[in-house]
Structure formats: structure tokens, C-alpha cells
Chains A and B, each alone.
Chain A
Amino acid sequence: MSDQPTPPPKPILSPFQTASRLGVILVVIALLGGAFAYTGGWLDPQRLTPTRIVDSFEQASGRHPGFRRNHAKGVCVVGLFVSTGAAAKFSSAEVFAPGRRTPVVGRFAIPGGNPYAPDGGVPIRSLALRFNQLNGQQWRTGMNSMPVFPVATPQAFYEQLQASQPVAATGKPDPERMKAFFAAHPETAPFLQWVKSAKPSASFATEAYNGLNAFFLVNDAGQRQAVRWGLVPEETAQPGGQPLPADPDFLAQDLAQRLAHGPLRWHLTLILANPGDPTNDATKQWPAGRTVVDAGTLLLQSTEPQDSGPCRDINYDPLVLPTGILPSDDPLLAARSAVYATSYERRTSEEAGVSAAGHTAPPAAKDPRS
């Protein structure tokens, strides 16, 4: 009936043989499943994962569905970058070609996970940019107004996040815990030195923004040059600072008022490392006297609220880079990229009403305006 060839006679397995062969199969499956679970971090709760860092932000500031987990309060800006061409001999990126005009979608923000925080509460402002090159490649970067990052490694950053968790009694971080953290992390000294005298600015427009992490510029000949970039404003703040307006959202208002009178300008400066300058330590500024290249002018022309503006759906992942820029060995870069991806996954999932895999959400924080 069947046109199957007759199988060759095979020895009958004893019950012991059958059981041991089944055992072998189960062991193979269990080993493969176990290796998968280990790789995914499920057997290793102590591993520092993007999930644990993003959870810490939520723990500190409450969960604000749809918002970024850090730098949650911000506004969108739109403009363009006009290249001088001075950086073209260091990097083959299209954005640096002489006279090239590259459209930019940016976002000003203040640090912290609370989208309703008062602007005067922190002395740091940030600016993230996405350059859309005509060739389809993009350059995304996030910059901050401080000159150095407090810590050099993701592990230290996580410890800082843990040390600064608000305590239930006061709603503020425990000063003793903070002190202990900073004592255990002497690399935070330059940041603490800066923050001692730093005052919250009354405007985004008068701030300089620093990339903090190092990268490599790569030119057409394949030569690599270590670099840190920053933005230097053309606007200047009133000497001695100015009293901060009472409105907690004064930064967005100031920005809109200034843009109503015309575009705001910054110079994109590339600080070129000397041989031996550290590229893996964002807590250390490079010594003075480094060559600084004025790569061009950033013109910001208009602003929109972040819940409807074009920056809303952008993940300013610092590792989205065009040809001609490469990441350095700074360990913060991969961590930022991984953590931003998790933040982006959560906030878009909240908007879509689907639950992000592996995320057991704490209850949403109360929106003070709803």
C-alpha cells in the first residue's frame, strides 16, 4: 500500500535505554533554554540592565505615561545647521561639507523624570539634536549645560540614581546617602565643583551645551581624531544673572518670545583631543589649549510643545551617527543608547496602550494638571 521503503530492522530499546535517551533529549533542551534565559538576564537579577536603570528613574519621579523617563520636561525646536566646512578635513560626514545646510529637529529640556518640574529647580539645561542628512543618514546627539558628567561608568550612574532616591518621609533624597555616594566616588569632584556655583538660567538661549562624551571623527582618508563637541550661544545672559520669573514654565515662554523676534544661533564647536587625552571618562575635561574647530552655525527658528511637536517621537540615541563619526570607548555611550531605547519602548507603548514586555509598571503618577 505505502510506497515507503521498508525501514531497516532496528534493535528494540530496553526501558532503561529509552529512559536514558529521553533524559539526554531533556538535558539538551534544558541546557539550551537555560543558556537563553541566562543571556536574557533572567537568571541574573544582579545584572545592570536597561530595565533596571529605567525602573530607577520611574521609582524616583513616578511613572508619567507617554513621557521620557529622564529629561521628561522639554520643548521641540526646529531649525537648520549651516556648515562652515572647517570640519570637513576631519570628518567625511555630509553635515560638515562646506556650505551644507542640514535640517535639524531638536529638543530643549531639563533633567529629571518629572514632566511638571519647575524650571528653576535644577541648574542644568539640555539640548538634543537630530540632523537629517540629505543622504538619509542621521546624526543624533544630546548635550548638557554642565562641563562634565558626574560619573564615568554606567555602574556609578546607577549607584548615584539609587543614592538619590527620594525617601518617603521628606520626599527628598537622603543627604547622608548622597554624601556617602559622593565620598565613595571621587570622580564626581569636578561636577560638584561646577554645581556649587551653577545657577538655573532664565533662558535656554544663553546656555552653552556640551556633548560630554568623546567620539571619533573619521575623514575620507580614514584618519581618526578624538573629539568632543558643544554648542556656544551667540546670545549672552545678563551679567550676574537675572531673577527667575515666578512661572514654573518660564523657559518655554522665554524661548517662544525670543524666537518670535528671529532665529537663535549657536556655534557648533569641535574640541580636538591631543594624543593621550582620555576618551573614556566623561568626568574629566580635556586641558585648555586644545584646537577648537568652528564647524558651523545652528539656527533654531521655531518651537512647539513636546506633546505635539516633531521631537516627540524621536529617541535622541547618541549612537545614531552618520558615516564620518564613530563612537569612542566611553562606556556611557552604549549605556545611554540601551537605556534610551527602553525608555522609548515604554513611552510609545503607553501611547499605544500596549504593555511593554517584561515591564511591570508601577501605578501612574498623578498629573497635577488633569
Chain B
Amino acid sequence: MSTPSKGLSEFVAEATEILDTLAQDLLTLDERRGEDVDPDLLNGIFRAAHSLKGLAGMFGQDRVAQLAHRSEDLLDRLRLGKVELGPAALDGLIATIDVFQALLAESARGEASPEVTQRSQALADHLLRLAEGAPRAPEDPLAGIGLDPGVRAVLTEYEEHRLRENLKKGLSLWKVRAAFDLSDFDQRLQEVNAKLKPLGEVISTLPSAEPGAGTGIAFDLLFGTRRSEDELRAAVAAMPVALQRIAQAAPPSTASAPPPQGEAAAAPARPERRKRKRGTSRATGTPPIPERSGPAEPALEAAEPTLPAVDEESAALAPVTPLPTRTPPVTPKPELDASLRSLTQTVRVDIRRLDALMNAVGELLLTRANLQRLAETARMGGVHAISKLWAQELHRETRQLERKLDELQKGILDVRMVPLGQVFDKLARLVRRIARSAGKEIDFVITGGEVELDKLIVEELSDPLMHIIRNAIDHGVEPPEVRVQNGKPRRATIALRALQQGNHVVIEIQDDGPGIDLARVREVAIARGLITAVQADEMSVRELQNLIFLPGFSTARSVSQLSGRGVGLDVVKTNIANLSGIIDLHSTPGQGTLLSITLPLTLAIIRALVVSVSGRTYAVPLNSVLEILSVESSEIRTIERREVVTLRGQTLPFVRLCRLFGLPEVPLKRHYVVVVGLAQERLGIAVDELVGQQDIVTKPLGGRLQHVRGISGATDLGNRRTVLVLDVGALVEEVLAPERRADFI
């Protein structure tokens, strides 16, 4: 595996951005099947494919370039109206997204597997056939009108096509001359565009070659509309524009530009422009491209799911610790004029740099704690007035430092945040494809795509979410006929929701399918030897449901293409647990299943509960703590040689931390029980004392201590005391499934 060069990683980053836009716009196009096609949207998609081709070509990524080239060709013919946009063409284009992703993933690793090459080639050939199919008869209405040759000379072929389309529909064509001051013309022009867009289509924006008066600049907009002259004039009444209808054999424009207006309210121009570039705005009054079935085509096998498979390494239970600080090589760029900064308002940051920053903040937090302790000691122990004064000052400084640190921490956390929509969009494509191949009719409803989470968490979420949704499609949705028989709507609904709750994000996946078949779960678990019949009889509904998270459990009667890939919900459980997430499962027979995942906003700095046991101090990540109970010794019962307590009528497994770690036991009448949850498991951990809460940065343990189970690392509490951080996941697993783990210390 070769190490990708810096240039290559830049290529992958930009290509990924383009691909995200492409995918999003294609999905929008797909959702609007059967509606009039928005030419801006289609052109935006074309531009994305076009950019991708250019980019890949420049970086010598031939496979990406070739597929982008074929996509672009097809899109070009679609937008020029030479090929009609039917289901075949749309499916072909949507299929490219996954192949592009596979290609980019290989590029990033510096690889090129024959399988992916072959898939890409097959798809490229398919697109070529689509582009060649069903040509439309060419006609040229442009020939009829006497457009100013100076204007026509600067129209690209696409713009000419749009002009033709407008004329064909019998729209009237206007030249809108707008003059502005050079300093803010882009904003003013956006304002004019915003007024015009609802009325028709702005075909081109030609900066007038006539030299402006000193600091002015004029534009000629070519505008097609169905609206009357009065409506048009009313729309732009307050704008510094002149209108001229382009009639047949119209003479070159001699309209004089009105003086620039300086006092009109400025509109935020950048989002508008981005919007236009991405082609998400919709034009009204533009000619539709009718929907029609495409020509017969060979079945497309390239559309295989390609989201990366969960590998064993990432699935292994590993304590979550900050990445080691590595500073990527930074080559200083030549400083350009400040005004030449990139126009986009998003910043792409290498996550490793952020981790380094985060570490620095962690250290600063420790300094703060030290300072606080000093201040406290001085204030309490200081006898001289002068030292008291000093202590007060120090105290004030510490407060200041604390506030600054909070700001810094918040700012950095914000930089790490990315919207969940990034993952949700990928899942939407997956659902569409899987549902089709499984013969199921599903509405996939996404809400909360704007909710933001730490980038690392979002990245790690895509695999588990994919598994859960595959499962929902496979097991949680009945075939359409069965649904109708059961009196349900023919189309099933799978909802994917995200919502923020304080410092947590809750992600819910809900289906309206048959619910979990507990009888069958029981049957399978016994058949697989996961539990005995006697154990099964003693299990609560919740415990039975949770059996589906055990490794080796799968109720699919046959190994299907969808869920039966040898990895099941146990992998989901492990992945979510690695993110300190908590899984809740609710299933109602006949009505459906709701699975909710609660995740921390970030893992970089965590809040911990500091507890003490037998005179030793430990930190418990607060993300995993559900509640704290105070329990009398008499309330502790023993079932099958395991201690349990009763919590709101439910049996809660209970463990004394001192016994687990082999520490001398302090006899106590009352125990504090820290109830922790990890994935779907719950456990009560008895401790002697609750010390308090604190922000901690977990450092990995080195050398031999590294593999000690039950401990995820160490942290400094600020009083120069290093304490161990409990690995809640390992503890839960240890206590609840000791037969699977014999190597505990």
C-alpha cells in the first residue's frame, strides 16, 4: 500500500465534496420523478460530473475520469434535450455514485482493484449506450430570430440550448441591462436574479464590454419568461435595470445604463450563489422535459451495495482514547491577497489537527484545575493580608482563564461537528436500492439531517446504521401483498430521525413492520445454543429482545443478500458501544420496531463521574451513566449466584467494584449504585463514595497495562493525581457474560 501524496488526498477530498453534491442532486431529481425537470438542477448535476472529470484528469485518476466522462456525456445530452430523461438514465446515473465512491476509496488507499475497475468499466459502457439511445430530432428555432451576434458569440452550447428551449415554448425573450457599482455588483446582481427567477429563466449573464464610468459595471441578462411586460417591469421596478424585448432582427442594444444605486438593501449574496451553483433552486415557467420510458436496456448489475464492510479491527472492542497527536506535514502556501480568499464558507480541516488542538485544550484544562487548587490553598491557608490579596487576584485570573477555556473548547468542538445528513443521504440511496432488489415498497423518511455530531462519530456511525436499516428492510418490512392482507398500507415506512437532547444526540430507526417475533427469537437462540430452554423461560421480554444482539444470532431463514452477510446486530452493538452509545429497542407485535441510539456529541473531552472504592479513586465516563441509586444492603438479592437489585420492577444486574478489582471491602450499610448502560445492556456498579464530576481527557495506558480489562485509560484530575478510567463496556461484558471471558484479572 503506497502512502497517498498530499496532492492525492486533496483530490480525494475535493472529489468527495463534488460527489456529495452530485448524489444529493440526483436524489432530488429522483424524488421528483414524473415532474417537470428543473433545468438548473439538471445543469448542476452536469456541472458536478464535469468538474469531477476535470479534477480526476488533472490528478491522473483515469478510472474516475473515464466514468465521470461517460456520466458527463449522458448528462450533457440530457440537458441539451438530445436524450430524454427516463428511469433508465436516472438509474444509470444514480448507480455511478457508489462506483465513484468505491473508486475514490481505492484512490485514497493508493490501490486499484480489478473488480472495481471492471464494475466501473461496465457502468461506463452502460452510460455510453444510454447516451446513444433515443436521439431526438434536431431543430433550430434560434435560426429564426435575429439575436445580436455579439451576444450569441459568448453563449456556450448549453446556454444556446436553453435559449432554444425557451423560444420553442413560445416564451418571450428579454435583454435585461443592469448597472452597478463595481464594489458590490455581485450582491446587487443576486438581488436582480432573485426577482427574475420566479418569473422565468436567466439564460446568461454577460458582463458588458462597454467600459463602465470609472467604477461601474453593467450586465446584460438574457431572460426568458411567459409573463407579461407589465409583470416583468413591476418585478424589477426598484432595481437599476433597463428592459429590452429581443424581437426578430433586433438591433444591437443601445439602451443606456441607469446610474448605479448604492443604497439598496444588501442581500447575502454568497449562499444565493452557492445555491445556484448547486442547482437546487427551482425555476418556474421553464419548459419541462417530459418523462418517458427509456429504451430497453440490459440489466444493470453494477448496482451492488458498496458501503464499506465492517472490518474486524474496527469492530473489536477498543477503549475510546484520543488519537495520538500527529501533526501532518504542512507546506505553507504563498500568501495571496486577502480578497482572493476562497468563496466558500466551509472549512475542511484535517481531523488529526483538530485532535492535536483538542489535546492542547485538555492540557489547559488541567492547568486550570491546578491553578484552582493553588488559589484555593492560598485563600484558605494564607495568613498575611498581602498573600490574601494575591490569592484573590489569582482567583480572579483563574476565573478568567476558565471562561476563555470554555470558549476555546466550545469553538473547537464546533469545528469538529458535521451534520448527520452526510450519512443519511448515503443511507437513502441504499434503501432505494435494497428495497427495489428485495421487492419491497418503502417510503424512507428522514428528519433531523441537520443535527450535528462529532465528525469521528458520524464517520463511525455509517456502518452500524447501514446494518440496522438493512435489518429493518429485511426483517422489519413485510412484502406489499402481506401488508395489504394485514390491513396495512401497501407501502411500508422506515423513518430515520435524529434529534439533539442536551449533550446527546438520539438517532431513531422506526419501521411499521411486524415487530420482533419473540417466539422465533427464543427458538433460534436455543437452537444456536446461545441460551438453554430453562434460561429462556426465566427471561423477560426485554431480555428476549436483546438476544438479537448476540454474536451468531440471525433469524433470517435463509442467508439473504441483504442482512445475511455473516455480520449481524452484534457488530452494531459493538460499534455503538465503542462510541459510548446506548441502544434502546421497543417492538410492538404487528405494529413495528423502534430502535433508538443515544450518542454523546463528542468523545474528545468527556465528563466523568469520579467515584471512590476502598480508598481508591476511579473515573466513570458520564456518557454511560444513566442514573445513580442509593441501595440498602438488604435490597441486594442473589439469583443464580449473581447479585441483583430491583429497579422500578425490573431486575438489574449488580456488581461491587471492590470485588471485581479484588480490593479490600469496606463494610457499608448503604451502597451508591452507578447504573451504566452500554448499547442495550444495563448494569449497576456499587461504589463507596461519589466524589464529583469533572471534564477529563483519557490517556491510553502504555506497556503491559494496556490490555488490562475494565480500564480504558488514565486521566489526571488536576491535583496531580492520576486515576484510572473505567471501561464501562468491558465491565458490562465481563459481568453479564463471564462465561465468554475467562481472562479477567
A, B in one complex: no
Binding site for B on A (CB under 8 A): none
Binding site for A on B (CB under 8 A): none
